[in-house]
C-alpha cells in the first residue's frame, strides 16, 4: 500500500512539472517594459524570466527594448514604443501553432524552423495585413495609423490584406496600408539597416537555439534562476530593513 501511495505521489509530481513547463519567457530587456497577463487589465513591470503565456501582451516604452524567447527556438526582439499580443501559443511534439497581433512599433521576428514533418502555423497580424510564415526571419514596422512594412531576410512570407494575397521572397519588402498591399523585390534603406542588425544578432540566436535543443528544460530553468535571483534580492533587502 505504501509503495502504491509513493508511486502515485511521484506521478503527481511528474505531471505537475510537465504541466508547469513554459512555452516562452521574457529573456532580456532594458528600460520600461510591461506585461499584461491574459484576463487582467493591469500592466505589470516586466523582468527577465517572466513567463509569457497565450493571451498575454507585452509593450515597451521610450528607449526600451525586450527579447522574447520561445521553447521551439523562436526569437522576437521588440524595439521601443512597441506592443504585441500572443494570441495563440500551442506547441506539441507533432505541431506548432503560434499567432501574434503586432499592434505598433518595430520588431525583429525569427521564427524557428520545424524539424521533419512537424506541422507549423505561424502568423503575425497587424492592423492592415496578416503574415503567414515558416522558418522565416524578418523585421516589421507598424505606424500609429497601422501602416505596415515588412522586410524579409530569410524564407518566404505569404501576405494578405483584405482580399489581396501576395508572396514575399527573401531580399524583398512589402507595405500595407489604406492604399493596399504592395511588394517589391528589394529592401529600402531602412530595411537594409534592419538586415544589418539581423546579421549581428543571428549568431547569438543560433547559440540560444542550440542550448534549447540540448536541454528541453532550458526555458523552465532560466525562469527558475531568475525567480531565485529576485527572491534572494528581496530577502537581502528585507534583512537590511530589519537591521535599521
Hey, what's the cell of 223?
A: 525562469
What percentage of the chain carries pLDDT values higher than 90? Answer: 75
Residue-averaged pLDDT of the chain: 90
Higher per-residue pLDDT: 231 or 53: 53
* 80: pLDDT strictly greater than 60: yes
Q: What's the whole-number mean pLDDT along residues 140-161?
A: 97
| pLDDT score of 209 | 96
pLDDT, tens only, 185-194: 999 999 999 9
What are residue 166's DSSP bridge partners? 159
> In this structure, are strands 95-110 and 83-91 parallel, antiparallel, or unpaired?
antiparallel
Q: Reduce the DSSP state of residue 136 to 3 states and report it.
A: coil
Mean pLDDT of all residues in 55-76: 97
Residue 87 has pLDDT above 60, yes or no: yes
Are residues 136 and 157 in contact, defined by beta-carbon separation less than 8 angstroms? yes
Averaged pLDDT for residues 128-157 = 95
- Ordered by where they begin, the domains of the chain are 22-216 (2.60.120.1440)
Q: Are 53 and 39 in contact (CB under 8 A)?
A: no
State the average pLDDT over residues 156-175.
Answer: 96
Strand partners, 88: 99
Cα–Cα separations (whole angstroms), residue 224 to 22, 50, 230 = 11, 10, 10
In this predicted structure, the answer to whether residue 52 has a pLDDT above a threshold of 80 is yes
Instruction: Give the whole-angstrom CA distance, residue 139 versus residue 236.
Output: 42
The C-alpha atoms of residue 152 and residue 157 are separated, in whole angstroms, by 8
Identify the residue whose cell numbers are 528544460. 217
Read off the pLDDT band of 20 (50, 70, 90): low
The answer to whether residues 35 and 57 touch, using CB atoms and an 8 Å cutoff, is: yes
Report the range of poorest mean pLDDT among 128-132, 149-153, 217-221, 229-233: 229-233
Residue with cell 523585421: 139
CB 24 within 8 Å of CB 52: yes
Cα Rg of the chain (Å, integer): 20
Average pLDDT for 58-65: 98
CB count in 10 Å sphere of residue 128: 19
| pLDDT greater than 90 at residue 19 | no
Residue 17 has pLDDT above 60, yes or no: no
pLDDT > 80? residue 118: no
| Phi, psi of 88, deg, nearest 5 | -140, 125
Q: What does pTM read for this prediction?
A: 0.87
pLDDT for residue 244 is more than 90:
no
Of these ranges, 13-17, 58-62, 94-98, 215-219, the one predicted with the greatest mean pLDDT is 58-62
Amino acid at each position: 500500500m505504501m509503495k502504491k501511495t509513493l508511486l502515485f505521489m511521484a506521478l503527481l509530481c511528474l505531471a505537475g512539472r510537465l504541466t508547469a513547463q513554459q512555452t516562452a519567457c521574457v529573456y532580456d530587456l532594458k528600460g520600461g517594459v510591461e506585461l499584461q497577463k491574459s484576463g487582467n487589465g493591469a500592466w505589470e513591470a516586466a523582468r527577465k524570466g517572466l513567463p509569457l503565456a497565450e493571451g498575454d501582451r507585452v509593450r515597451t516604452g521610450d528607449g526600451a527594448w525586450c527579447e522574447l524567447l520561445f521553447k521551439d527556438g523562436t526569437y522576437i526582439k521588440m524595439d521601443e514604443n512597441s506592443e504585441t499580443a500572443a494570441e495563440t501559443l500551442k506547441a506539441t511534439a507533432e505541431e506548432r501553432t503560434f499567432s501574434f497581433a503586432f499592434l505598433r512599433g518595430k520588431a525583429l521576428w525569427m521564427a524557428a524552423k520545424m524539424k521533419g514533418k512537424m506541422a507549423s502555423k505561424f502568423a503575425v497580424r497587424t492592423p492592415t495585413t496578416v503574415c503567414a510564415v515558416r522558418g522565416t526571419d524578418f523585421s516589421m514596422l507598424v505606424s500609429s495609423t497601422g501602416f505596415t512594412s515588412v522586410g524579409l531576410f530569410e524564407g518566404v512570407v505569404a501576405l494578405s490584406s483584405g482580399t489581396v494575397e501576395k508572396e514575399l521572397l527573401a531580399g524583398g519588402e512589402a507595405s500595407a496600408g489604406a492604399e493596399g498591399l504592395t511588394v517589391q523585390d528589394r529592401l529600402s534603406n531602412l530595411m537594409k539597416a534592419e538586415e544589418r542588425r539581423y546579421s549581428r544578432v543571428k549568431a547569438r540566436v543560433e547559440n540560444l537555439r542550440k542550448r534549447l535543443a540540448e536541454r528541453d528544460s532550458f526555458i523552465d530553468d532560466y525562469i527558475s534562476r531568475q525567480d531565485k535571483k529576485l527572491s534572494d534580492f528581496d530577502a537581502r533587502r528585507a534583512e537590511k530593513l530589519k537591521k535599521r
